[in-house]
Structure 1
């Protein structure tokens, strides 16, 4: 279990340190148009690999895939740190996402393999959540510290020692457990290809929408995405070994949990990617200062998970914790849409604490409830689908909110410069890199010396804050849609062991 904790620490660190460093990364590599792609390329490849290796883990045991994933993730982290251009970084992040997807698919599913009794399993789930939360807690501050004092590349290099330690512990201590009740099934490669086609074309369409690409191209991508989705649904209903079992998607208890996971991922990634941008480019804070403001969110995910572990079995209706967590996190997003440069940092920190507590009630309970409701022989697939829906939500949240922020910001800057009768500065100020890169900032001040550049920059910062405010308000509204899904989750009994199944230990 120590090895699994190290694995989760590595994945969690990567999720949180990168968000804090991203404004500096795009300023250094000069590629704000690919800002969202650094996150979505990782999520896209993760989404594709999670169900594949969830199923392979069910059939062949999880240890070989955990070991392979650690090597792949660690190697890709090194490539990310060595990237010289934004396209190189995006490709390296995509490769890293393959390893991350393998880790997510196998690590969480190891717990019910090792601890089939509910009470014992809950204790270890809390431990894993605590390890995940601990890494999340130090991630933003560590990312800000490394970026400010050592350079952004070290937010990726920090994965290397954690990866080596994880590899040794997993290789040495994690047993190989194969479920012998059924022979290995043929993998649904057609389903995997259709998932990749659906999400990839959807991602391109969303990313290119604000870039004024030809309507025919955008329409073609939309049609391709819809066709791939419909074909995927048709194929999975007829496949003898579907990657996404239709029975699981239509399951009365599992379907709303998958929907809640999608919404949670949407909100979590939208907040964690764009709050640091608001704090740095909008408020003018350093990466370290921005990291300190985001840290309470992830610290309190750990605290919320630990609190949840102590109370969830004592409640008559534990599923109500999902509603409470959802409301708390939605309120955090709504309040983020109201903060400004003059807002006391203590209020921002208190708001982030509330959001962390909400996520601490959501994240572990979604996993616990899915593993309690799913058929024993499909634990890996069901856990993988839960993680996949969270990643799809994160991909959509990062991409769609990126479109919203970019469109709103450019529109507001254009209107401001038109009012001031200074449209010649649009190509400078419509790109947030001007607010983030000290060299570009100095060059703009020199070029626009006669046009009161500091006043223009101050107004532009406020417009970026307004654009991010609008995106966070949308996030809050979308999260509240999950209240309907939370009401659909059936009662879950947590006092009994999982149905036994004969495993074989190697």
Structure 2
């Protein structure tokens, strides 16, 4: 069924009728929901998965494999979407993601699960690179686009709100494999709407289009080596292997820049980085990725391990953060179109991030839970005020020909910021916690039980904590007293790590000044020489 293309997109601000726009956006909303649900339910089920498959040494790689392949594929498919239209890749991303979900669900070992998650990351990267860029294709008018994007923000928020609870329920009553199979019905619904109602829109019309495969290989080598370097450096230190890997990463970046400058059809047009507005937006996206991943990974550790809360209580405290991201996005869409200087919303978002991070850095075991909820709400609202605007501002600045690659690069840079955030904060938390334990319990030096206490798992895993208490009881020592000391040390260690997130929020607040004033496009006409709409898919 061919989508009905609007005869006057310059008058309506959209290329389809209202009904067709709603149906196409419904497909994109289901797509967003599928990925968001997957990200939240997998984290809940992962401890059970590791226990059954007996592969704790590969625990981190279940997430890392997904992130690695996503970061690599986002810029590649972002550019392919500009050249060949986004619909084929959006549809393919759903198929790949569903296939990988099945492979995850039937995995019999951690190695199989890691490889299946890597394949799922390819689908996720393809999705992020193309699905978000479909929205400005459908709605050239920025004001119209912001109103329609509420559908995606709502789908993302609903998935984040129910994901942790759904993951716990499925894991407990239907087994951990069901958390991967839950993607299938959502994916089928998304595939139905996208196949039938999403038009194929090509931003670049040329008979001589050649994909920059050399650039794609260099992007994969650079981002892949960067990911491995960031992940492995805290574990192995600055030895010869890590120095060699760092040098290799630098060489790949140099080779990528050298090649892209001379390539007639570059995968990553370097002119984007000469655009002051785009360069500033990419930096802000890096800061937001750093803050977001640092908070999502280490706040639960502080609340559960440091404050002694149950996983259910931690889930309830984290929920306001993810829900307020959606509320902030919805409120932003209503407010920003009425502002003479839309950049003011970026200032508001980073101010909220500064206040939230400062509050979390000063929180302690006796801080009121209502105050912690307030910090979570400010963090969520701040993210909701900044993240959608970075995407919209980049799309407004880049122009139609660079729409896909600029959107994709924004997402890639955010993930790289997340990689740096988790690695840097994780290294600081590990160092300060281990050093703090050794200073707080000097009498434990040389004792086997000190190794257990130096692992934060003893504060969050009831079985490990029980073994530790029994071991101390046999020696006539107070295990409970040591646990309480360790909780205080862990809170201080997480505070030290979160100071870097606060620093990034402060830098981001001042960096907003580097973003030129954005003026939203109104009633954009579609020039036949630049854009083609079809439904031949």
Same fold (TM over 0.5): yes
Which is further off, 254-263 or 491-500?
Answer: 491-500
- Consecutive unaligned residues in structure 1, runs of 5 or more: none
Matched, 1:9 2:38: no
TM-superposed deviation, 1:471: 1.2
Task: Tell me how far apart the structure 2 counterparts of residues 483 and 476 of structure 1 sit (CA, whole Å).
Answer: 11
Q: 2:416, 2:284 → 1: CA distance?
A: 12
Q: Is the 8 A contact 1:261 1:393 kept in 2?
A: yes
- The answer to which of 150-159 and 489-498 deviates more is 150-159
SS at match of 2:342: coil
Q: Aligned-pair distance for 1:25?
A: 5.8
TM-superposition CA deviations, 1:79-100 (whole Å, max 9, x none):
4445565554443332221111
Partner of 1:291: 315
Aligned with 1:452 (options 478, 488, 497): 478
CA contact (8 A) 2:31 2:94 kept: yes
Distance in 2, matches of 1:462 and 1:146, equals 34
Aligned to 1:267: 291
After the TM superposition, which residues 173-192 of structure 1 pair with which residues of structure 2 at under 5 Å, given as runs? Answer: 173-179=197-203, 181-183=205-207, 185-192=209-216
2:139 corresponds in structure 1 to 115
Structure exhibiting the larger radius of gyration computed from Cα positions: 2
Is the 1:20–1:291 contact (alpha carbons within 8 Å) kept by the matching residues of 2?
no
Instruction: Classify 1:386/1:316 alpha carbon distance in 2 versus 1 (closer, same or farther; 3 Å).
Output: same
**Residue 17 (structure 1) shift:** 3.6
Say yes or no: does 1:245 pair with 2:274. no
Cα offsets for 1:101-126 (capped at 9, x unmatched): 11111111111212222222221123
Q: How does 1:250-329 map to 2 (within 5 A)?
A: 250-329=274-353
Is 1:216 matched up with 2:230?
A: no
Does the CA contact (< 8 Å) of 2:83 and 2:205 recur in 1? no
Distance 1:478 1:147 in 2: 36
Verify: 1:504 aligned to 2:530, yes or no: no
Aligned 8 A contact 1:44 1:392 in 2: no
Counterpart position of 2:515: 489
CA RMSD of aligned residues (A): 2.5
2:190 is the alignment partner of 1:166: yes
Equivalent position SS for 1:376: coil
- Pair 86,460 (structure 1): closer, same or farther in 2 beyond 3 Å: farther
Question: CA separation in 1, counterparts of 2:450 and 2:118?
Answer: 33
1:368 counterpart = 2:415: no
Per the alignment, residue 416 of structure 1 pairs with 440
For residues 378-393 of structure 1, the aligned pairs below 5 Å read 378-393=402-417
Residue matched to 2:427 = 403
How far 1:308 moved relative to its partner? 0.8
The separation in 2 between residues aligned to 1:24 and 1:344, in whole angstroms, is: 31
Q: Which residue of 2 aligns with 1:480?
A: 506
User: Once structures 1 and 2 are overlaid, which stretch shifts more, 306-315 or 204-213?
Assistant: 204-213
Instruction: Give the conservation status (yes or no) of the 8 Å contact 1:304–1:358.
Output: yes
> 5+ residue gaps in structure 2?
1-24
CA drift at 1:438: 3.2
| Whole-angstrom CA distance in 2 between matches of 1:283 and 1:33 | 27
- Which runs of structure 2 are paired with 1:460-475 in the superposition (5 Å)? 460-475=486-501
What is the aligned partner in structure 2 of residue 394 from structure 1? 418
Distance across 1 between alignment mates of 2:306 and 2:424: 20
Question: How many Å separate the matches in 1 of 2:237 and 2:108?
Answer: 26
The aligned residue for residue 227 of structure 1 is 251
1:53 aligned to 2:82? no
Separation in structure 1 between the aligned mates of residue 170 and residue 366 of structure 2, nearest angstrom:
27
- Deviation at 1:196? 2.4
User: 1:212: Cα distance to partner?
Assistant: 3.7
- Equivalences for 1:128-143 in 2 at 5 Å? 128-143=152-167
What is the aligned partner in structure 1 of residue 118 from structure 2? 94
Q: 1:289 & 1:137 partners in 2: Cα distance?
A: 14
Q: Secondary structure at the match of 1:253?
A: helix
Q: Contact conserved, 1:69 with 1:100, CA < 8 A, in 2?
A: yes
Contact conserved, 2:438 with 2:445, CA < 8 A, in 1? no
Q: Measured at CA, do residues 57 and 421 of structure 1 come closer, stay the same or move farther in structure 2, by a change above 3 Å?
A: closer
Q: Deviations over 1:163-214 (max 9, x none)?
A: 2221222223222233463236222222222222223323333333333457
The change in CA–CA distance for 1:113 and 1:165 in structure 2 (over 3 A counts) is same
Task: State the SS of the aligned residue for 2:533.
Answer: strand
1:73 aligns with 2:97: yes
Larger deviation: 1-10 or 30-39? 30-39
Decide whether the 8 Å contact of 1:256 with 1:486 is kept in 2.
yes
Do 2:272 and 2:406's aligned partners in 1 also have CA atoms closer than 8 Å? Answer: yes
